[in-house]
Amino acid sequence: MIRLDKFLCEMEIGTRSQVKEMIKKGQVSVNNEVIKKADYKFDENSAKVCVKEKEISYQKFYYYMLNKPAGVVSATTDNHDKTVLDLLKDAPGKDLFPVGRLDKDTEGLLLITNDGVLSHNLLSPKKHVDKTYLVKTAETVTLDMIHALEQGVDIGEEKITLPAKVKLLEEKEIELTIMEGKFHQVKRMLKAVGNEVVYLKRLSMGSLILDEALNLGEYRILTEKEVDDLKKDKQE
Ligand code: URA
């Protein structure tokens, strides 16, 4: 159940005072009945709400994929740097946030949503959701390095990293799939094997794959299937 004024604000119909005014003027109906009380409560999942006779379709959660460019930070606000949310300024949805972090210099797939449960499931260390990165390195990637990454390396945490998957693409380029998300993990893993990351891009997270049609800094709404598949990823 939700208050009518709160519902209209969440649907971005107007500010709290604007929507209260609309309600007072009799411009809002719930299930075909004009409601003039801002604190009127109803079930937002089943009710038909109209404003000036136009039906408002109810959407609580929003899901976007962003192709994050380098130079922006994975935060909701920042005093110095541009944030990923600055790139989604015009996107509908309240309380959006990035699911996890990419470093300022990392590019690629970032899921942005206001669905806390999905975010929690994807980030939970217990769930081991795969994340795949395109990694360009300063030095040649040797077989020894690949084997070490596949087995787990010491990045100064309590335990060595979980086994990763490595696909060698070029002499100095790999696709690396990890199941954890420790701070600077990929950079620390490459350092642990005596190499260095010079370029990093996330290609996928769980079932969600970066849409290569998105230029850096562009975003799009996830399809229903993408959202459903993500929700199925590693459910408890
Ligand atoms: N690992 C890193 O080192 N940086 C990222 O941005 C993501 C994974």
pTM: predicted TM-score of the whole model, two decimal places: 0.86
pLDDT (mean) for 130-141: 98
| Alpha-carbon gap, residue 1 to 64, rounded angstroms | 26
The predicted pLDDT at position 10 comes to 85
C-beta 210 within 6 A of ligand 1: no
Phi, psi of 18 (to 5 degrees): -65, -45
**How confident is the model over 18-38, as a mean pLDDT?**
96
Mean pLDDT for the chain overall = 95
pLDDT in tens, 81-93: 999 999 999 898 8
Q: Tell me: pLDDT of 236 over 60.
A: no
Both tokens of residue 147?
Answer: 């084997």
Q: Whose CA is nearest to atom 7 of ligand 1?
A: 102
Tell me if 130 CB under 6 Å of ligand 1. Answer: no
Q: Provide mean pLDDT across the span 164-180.
A: 98
* CA atoms of 201 and 67, how far apart (whole Å): 9
d(CA 61, CA 94): 9
Q: Which of 179, 187, 210 to mutate to test the pocket of ligand 1 (most atoms within 8 A of CB)?
A: 187
Bridge-partner residues for 167, per DSSP?
A: 175
- The type of residue at 129 is V
When pLDDT is cut at 50, 70 and 90, the band that residue 234 belongs to is: low
The pLDDT tens digits for 173-209 are 999 999 999 999 999 999 999 999 999 999 999 999 9
What pLDDT, on a 0 to 100 scale, did the predictor assign at position 235?
A: 57
Average pLDDT, stretch 44-70? Answer: 93
Ordered DSSP codes for the chain = -EEHHHHHHHTTSS-HHHHHHHHHTT-EEETTEE---TT-EE-TTT--EEETTEEEPP----EEEEEEPTT-BSSS--SSS-BGGGGGTTS--SS-EESS---TT-EEEEEEES-HHHHHHHH-TTT---EEEEEEESS---HHHHHHHHH----SSSSPPPP-EEEEEETTEEEEEES---TTHHHHHHHHTT--EEEEEEEEETTEE--TTSPTT-EEEPPHHHHHHHHHTT--
Dihedral sign (CA 125, 130, 131, 137):
positive
Among 110, 184, 210, the mutation site with the greatest number of ligand 1 atoms within 8 A of its Cβ is: 184
In short, whether 200's Cβ falls inside 6 Å of ligand 1 is: yes
What atom of ligand 1 comes closest to residue 202's alpha carbon? 7
User: In this predicted structure, what is the pLDDT of residue 7?
Assistant: 92
**Which residue numbers are catalytic?**
103
187 C-alpha to center of ligand 1: Å? Answer: 6
Domains and CATH numbers, the chain: 2-56 (3.10.290.10), 63-233 (3.30.2350.10)
- With 0-12 / 13-18 / 19 or more C-beta atoms within 10 angstroms meaning exposed / middle / buried, residue 152 is middle
Report the pLDDT averaged over residues 69-94. Answer: 94
What percentage of the chain has pLDDT greater than the value 70?
99
Position 120 scores a pLDDT of 94
| Average pLDDT of the segment spanning 82-105 | 94
CB of 185 closer than 6 A to ligand 1?
Answer: yes
Beta strand 97-98 with 49-51: parallel, antiparallel or unpaired?
unpaired
Q: What's the whole-number mean pLDDT along residues 106-127?
A: 95
How confident is the model at residue 2, as a pLDDT?
92
